[in-house]
Structures are given as C-alpha cells and as structure tokens.
Chains A and B, each alone.
Chain A
Amino acid sequence: MAFIPPKETYPGRVYSVSIGTGQKEITVGGENVLPFHSFEGAFSNRPLIAYEIHDVPPSDWPESVQKPYLDVCANPVSWAKYCQDILNAKAIALRLIGTHPDRENRSSEDAAKTVKEVIDSIDIPLIILGSNHTEKDSSVLIAAAEASKDRNCIIGKAQEANYKTIAAAAIANNHKLIAMSELDINLSKQLNILITQMGFDKEKIIIDPMCSALGYGLEYTYSVMERIRLAGLAQNDPTMQQPILGDVGMYVWKVKETIADEKDVPLWGNTEERGIAWEAVTAVSMLIAGAEILVMRHPKAIEAVEKMIDELM
C-alpha cells in the first residue's frame, strides 16, 4: 500500500500582527496551518518571547528567578536595558504590578512615567500589562497607552469587565490589544466580538485565553488554544484568527514546584533547574498548542525555548 501523506490545508489564516516600530518591528502570526506545520503550508513568522519586567522590584518572585536580575531590577529602565542589551531580548513585557491596590498602589501618573522611561530606553517592541485589577487597570492602561502613543505596543489585558475603556485607549494611541477571557473558547470569541463591535480592528487583537502552569490546569489552556486555532483555520472563523498570547511566567513562578527547596522535597530534585524546566516545558506546550507570543521570566528557560523554536521552524 503506497503511503500518501495526509496533508491538510485550511481555509482560514491567522492574522499577521506587527508590533514595535522601525528596524526592530516584529511580525507574528500569518500562518495558515497548525503550529510549526510548515510541511503543509506557511508557518513563516517565528513565535515571539517577551522578557517580563516589573515597575517595582519583584519581591514576590521566587529566589531562583529573582537572582538573574538582582543587580538591575530596582529600576525598570536598567532592567529593560539589561534584557535588551545583555540577554538579547526580542521584546519586553512591562507589567505594572505596582499599581495593584494590594501592592504598592502606584498611581496612573507614576505608571505612565515608568512606561515613558522604559519605552524611551529601548528600541525593541514593548508589551504593557496592567496588574489584572479590572477597575484599576482601566485608568492605568489609559495613561500607559498615552505615554507610549504611536509606538505600536501591545496593551492589556482587556477583560469583559473593562474592555471598553482599554480598547478605546488602544485605538486612540495606535496600539494592539490583548483580550483576555477565562479558559473558555466561547467566552474568548464573545469578547473578541464585543471589542470589534466598538469599531476596534479585529486584526489588532491578541487573544489571551488565560494561561495555566504545568500541573495546575495546563491541560485546559492547551486544549483551549488548540480549539481556538482549529476554529480559526478549519472553520475559518474570523473572530478566532488572532495571534494567541501565553502569559507563562506569572502562572509558573508561583506554584510549589518552582519554589520548594530541595531540602524539603528531595524527591523533586534541584530547585533552580526544576523551576527553569517548569517554565520552559509550560512554554513549549503552549507553543505546540498555538501560542505565537509568550511572556516569560527566567533567561535560561527563554534561551532553551528559543533553541527549541529554532529546531521547530
């Protein structure tokens, strides 16, 4: 029996989305096949990994992932420059966690100032993330979007409760927008529809179906991502054809497996290597499931995932 490769072509295609400006502008998405399936179609744009930095020192990060940044993380500008110049980051994700009312409760003005300083000190694309406090994010992200006007950033996350103000700020200042819903393909689709109904260009949305860490619901994120991709490609659903973002580091570096000391859990092996592997394995799973943009923390995990992408492209 002769073997005929059962290749599949799809009617749909993921929108190509560009971020950043000038020579360092980057395009993600654009494929008309499942992740890395270049044997049956076009998968030409490499997925992008952004280094996560914070507006305040990352005192809540476990020691193994704080360590690489100890000398630079007191100041978001030196942190961003370190990622760009020394670690060769291709993009930065600035999380304004210090604005959260339970944290430093920084004001929108302070946040805007940080955004301005960071964006003026780097030339790679910037992703600007709020603190995930739906109310506070509305005002913080408006100020942040203005402070980075016309620099073609990604801002977010817009959720069902606050998408109107954040989407309006993204339109006014020429940014791309993250639309985040909670692990449910229908909710994700619905949010994209709501946002486009405001007049927001559907090709400027980035889907965040909500990440979850290895061992802590990864299988849900994995399957939602696969289903979103299949809906976009096979069913040609225009509300599900946006690039997908995986906010990996934030979910990974709070689970016990990335924190617990080897002394307390000898069966789990070396703490640092375990944490790095946890982040890298979560990230690769998301890429295989359909993510085009990842936000990550540990330089060694990022380096390994980049090598894996090299091999997959």
Chain B
Amino acid sequence: MALTGVEIFKLLPKTNCKKCGFPTCLAFAMKLAQRQASLDLCPDVSEEARQKLGEASAPPVRPITLGTGENAVKMGEETVLFRHDKRFVNPCVFALGIKDTLSSEEIEKKINEVRNSVIDRVGQKLKIDAIALLNDSGGPEKFENAAKILSEKAPEIPVILCTTNLSAAEVSTKLYSDRKPVLYGANAGNLEDMSGIAKNYKATLGIAASTGGLNELSELTEKVKKLGVEDIVIDPGARKAKEILEHNTLIRRAAIKKNFKPLGYPIITFAQREDNLLETLFAALGVAKYSSIIVLSSIERWKNLALFTLRQNIYTDPQVPMQVEQKIYKIGEPTEESPLLITTNFSLTYFIVSGEVENSKVASYLAVMDCEGLSVLTAWAAGKFTASKIAQFIKESGIEGSIKHRELIIPGYVAILSGSIEDKLEGWKVTVGPREANGIPAFMKSRMK
C-alpha cells in the first residue's frame, strides 16, 4: 500500500531545515504522498528511510522503456483507472506482428510499412512504434534469421521478440543487447532460462500465464524478480475480448488500488484477428482499457489513422485541451495585401483551419487567439471569443503594422459578432467566412475575382 503523509513524515529527519524547499518536513511529506515531489529534494534523509520510501513511492505500474534513442517509447507509470481522474501517462505502443516464416523481401516490405506509418495529426507525429517478431515457424533457424534482418535493416525500430524457443531467444536477444527489446515468451516451463537471457542482455522480459490466469501470472513475476529481472511486461493469457477486459481491469485495479506489486507492470495484448475490422475494434478495447503494447497483424493506413486518433483522444489531458500558442501565424508568404483570418487556439481548430487555408493556396495571416484551448463555438458560448476580446487582441497583436487593409475574416458560426467587432475595432471591416473550414478554399477563390 502507498504510505500516507503522516507515515512518510515519521521517516523524515524532522528537523524542518527547509532545504527541500518546503517549510516543514510534514509539508514535504504531504507532497510526497501526493506524488508531487521527489524524495531527492531532501539531502538529509537516511539510507534506510530512502529504501522504505522508494519502495512505497514507486509508481504502481512500473515504468519501462522499449527501444533506445529517438524511437524509444515509454510504457507504464499509470496512476489512475479512469481518464477523468488524471491524465493517462504513457500512450500504448502499437506493434506490427511479423511472422518469421516470411521471406526476407516480405520482411523488408513490412519494415517499410512501419517506417511509412507516420501520420501528422493535430501537430503530433503518430506512428506504429514497434515490430513484434513472431516465432510461427516453431524452430530457431527462421526466427534467428528474421531477427538478423530486423536488426540490420531496421536498427532504429524497437522490437518485441516473441518466442519460447531458448536458442532463438538467446540468439535474437543477443543481437539486441543494450537496445532494450522485449523478450516475450517466458512461462512456467522456461522461466529460469528466459530470465537468464533477459538479464544477460538487459532485455525486458515478457511473461505469459497459461491456464492459471492472474494468480499464476503473479507467481511468475515474483519468481522472475527474485531471479534478478526487474523490467517485465505481462500477458494474462486471455485472447477473447471479454477476458481481456476482465484481466486488464483486475490487473490495473490491483496495481493502483492495492499497490499489488506482482502485477504492477505494463500489459501486452495480442489483438490479431482474421477479420481486420474486428481486429481494429479489439485494439480499440486495448487502447481504452489499459493495454501498454498492442500487437497487430496488419497496419493499413485507414486502420492506423483510426487507432492513432483513439489513442490520442484517450491519452489527452482531461483538464487541459490541446492548444497552440496565441499569435499571428503566417501561411505561405503573406504580403501587406494578404487576407487576415481569425480563429481560436484549440489545437484541433487551428490545424483544421490552417490546413484549409493552405489548401486555398492564398498566402494569408491567421490570427489565433488564446481561448484556453476551446473550439470556436465553445469559446463563444463560454464568453472567451467575444467582440471586445477579439478587438483587443487584434489591436495588441501589431498586425496593423504588417497589412495595409483593415479587413478581418471571422468564422461563419460566429457571424453574429460581426457588427459588434466593427463597433469596437474602428476603421475595420468584418467579413463573415464560411461555417465549416472545408468551405475556406472556395471562399478564398471567390474573393480573388
């Protein structure tokens, strides 16, 4: 169980020396209990207390990194069960499953699919994060060969090596030594050997329960930990949606509400299905319900876009909408004759509108006003996108120095504001644009005539 503030206080030096930046040891202890401060801030804490507190203050789901360098992805560290309580921390990893029975050309083709999966959405680069190499051949040769191809041709892509064959595990993990792969395939039968391999090459060990479910899984992780492997991902063994939901929920609850360490690890989910749309939905379940790695059998672009977007939605901060900086953005190379449009600083709004202005191929200024990340209508309804605020923003922005004309194009949904903006912005003319951003290219073209 996590310690309370008072329990933590008892372990601190109680000198109230303030070196931690808090007025008293008790105040510091309270912050520690809420996980809002780090123990390192107190220079005088005893080694014994440090150990006790370290255990207790470790995040309920162990943080684990997959891969190294630029493409490394973090997993775990989650602290809540529901996204409205607090932001989900580390977005799940999508991995493309590649069978070792494929030819080298086919494997290279798949590598390229992963590389080309990057999609820009609302200012974020989203992609398939990893490759899961699957030991469909059953034997070591093909697996080792495929691992070699991956390691040579795609050294930057993080991997999950899925095999229960010890020789295949040894050879492939060695190839990825110090590159933080996951070696998945430890089970009751091969636990010691697999732990040895993971430990030797500093890999994260993927442990699968067979029929014993979560009880078996807990025993396995404890054994592995005793063998000296700390970085673990877990697979409760279920493959049907109903059981996945049950297991993932119980694992996350045990970790967070009971601080049950043996299950405080990221979960790996195998979502492969013959029916591709069903596979997509299955992956969606994993995104919403606590999976940290989701293995897919194919990564078509339509499927990626839907899953990336869901992951982005579920993992956004419920308190702070995604927003962009307030300023006058230049689109193309605007001159002093170029049109000036205005919108709010909600990321989604900004990216849709700037994209459509770009599509119109008319160089423009886009004034983006801080409305605390609210969309146009929401900001208007909340009194943040009002005539006087718009007028003030335009005046203070300095745009009057960059353009000769005095015309402001406003979103069609707030047409009602046009008169009052003209009243407050002397010498300006307000033009009402289309309601939906996709009408902007036609609107801009018609103005050119």
Bound pair (A, B): yes
**A285 in contact with B310 (CB, 8 Å):** yes
Known: A36-B242, A268-B302, A273-B300. A304 touches B260 (CB 8 A): no
**B285 in contact with A284 (CB, 8 Å):** yes
- A224, chain B: closest CB distance, angstroms: 8
Known: A214-B313, A257-B305, A304-B277. A5 touches B214 (CB 8 A): yes
**A305 in contact with B281 (CB, 8 Å):** yes
- The residues in A between 10 and 58 inclusive whose CB is less than 8 angstroms from any CB of B are 36-39
What residues on B are CB-neighbors of A270 within 8 Å?
A: 300-302
- A263, chain B: closest CB distance, angstroms: 13
**A3 in contact with B305 (CB, 8 Å):** no
Q: Given the complex of chains A and B, what is the CA–CA distance between A313 and B245 in angstroms?
A: 11
- B170, chain A: closest CB distance, angstroms: 31
Which residue from A2, A36, A219, A311 sits with its C-beta under 8 Å from B314? A219
Contact with A along B269-288 (1 / 0, CB 8 A): 00000010110111011001
Decide if A267 is an interface residue (CB 8 Å cutoff): yes
Decide if B413 is an interface residue (CB 8 Å cutoff): no
Q: Given the complex of chains A and B, what is the CA–CA distance between A292 and B217 in angstroms?
A: 33
- B263, chain A: closest CB distance, angstroms: 7
Decide if B84 is an interface residue (CB 8 Å cutoff): yes
What residues on B are CB-neighbors of A304 within 8 Å?
A: 275, 277-278, 281
Which residue from A3, A219, A307 sits with its C-beta under 8 Å from B278? A307
Q: Which of the candidate stretches B65-73, B135-143, B247-255 sits at the interface with the other chain?
A: B247-255
- A244, chain B: closest CB distance, angstroms: 15
**B348 in contact with A277 (CB, 8 Å):** no
Decide if B82 is an interface residue (CB 8 Å cutoff): yes
Which residue from A214, A276, A280, A312 sits with its C-beta under 8 Å from B245? A312
Decide if A6 is an interface residue (CB 8 Å cutoff): yes
Which partner residue on chain A sits nearest B121 by CB separation?
A215
Decide if B257 is an interface residue (CB 8 Å cutoff): yes
What residues on B are CB-neighbors of A7 within 8 Å?
A: 250
Decide if B104 is an interface residue (CB 8 Å cutoff): no
Decide if A218 is an interface residue (CB 8 Å cutoff): yes
Which partner residue on chain A sits nearest B287 by CB separation?
A285
**A223 in contact with B306 (CB, 8 Å):** no
Which residue from B257, B300, B305, B312 sits with its C-beta under 8 Å from A6? B257
What residues on A are CB-neighbors of B275 within 8 Å?
A: 304, 307
Contact with B along A287-308 (1 / 0, CB 8 A): 0110000000000100011011
Which residue from B214, B277, B352 sits with its C-beta under 8 Å from A280? B277
**B289 in contact with A288 (CB, 8 Å):** yes
**B285 in contact with A226 (CB, 8 Å):** no
Decide if A79 is an interface residue (CB 8 Å cutoff): no
Decide if A103 is an interface residue (CB 8 Å cutoff): no
Q: Given the complex of chains A and B, what is the CA–CA distance between A209 and B83 in angstroms?
A: 17
Q: Given the complex of chains A and B, what is the CA–CA distance between A30 and B343 in angstroms?
A: 45
What residues on A are CB-neighbors of B289 within 8 Å?
A: 288
**B303 in contact with A223 (CB, 8 Å):** no
Decide if A180 is an interface residue (CB 8 Å cutoff): no
Q: Given the complex of chains A and B, what is the CA–CA distance between A205 and B260 in angstroms?
A: 40
Among B254, B306, B307, B438, max chain A CB count under 10 A is at B306
Decide if A122 is an interface residue (CB 8 Å cutoff): no
**B310 in contact with A281 (CB, 8 Å):** yes
The 6 A-B pairs of least Cβ separation, nearest first, read A269-B301, A274-B302, A269-B302, A311-B241, A3-B218, A223-B84
- 14 extra A-B contacts, CB within 8 A, seeds A215-B312, A222-B313, A267-B119: A3-B215, A214-B310, A218-B313, A219-B313, A219-B316, A222-B83, A256-B352, A273-B303, A274-B302, A276-B277, A281-B281, A285-B284, A288-B289, A308-B241
For this complex, 27 residue pairs linking A to B, each with C-beta atoms less than 8 Å apart, are A1-B218, A1-B222, A2-B215, A3-B215, A3-B218, A3-B260, A36-B242, A214-B306, A214-B309, A216-B348, A219-B313, A219-B318, A226-B84, A268-B301, A269-B305, A270-B300, A273-B302, A274-B305, A277-B280, A277-B302, A281-B310, A284-B285, A288-B245, A289-B288, A307-B281, A311-B240, A312-B241
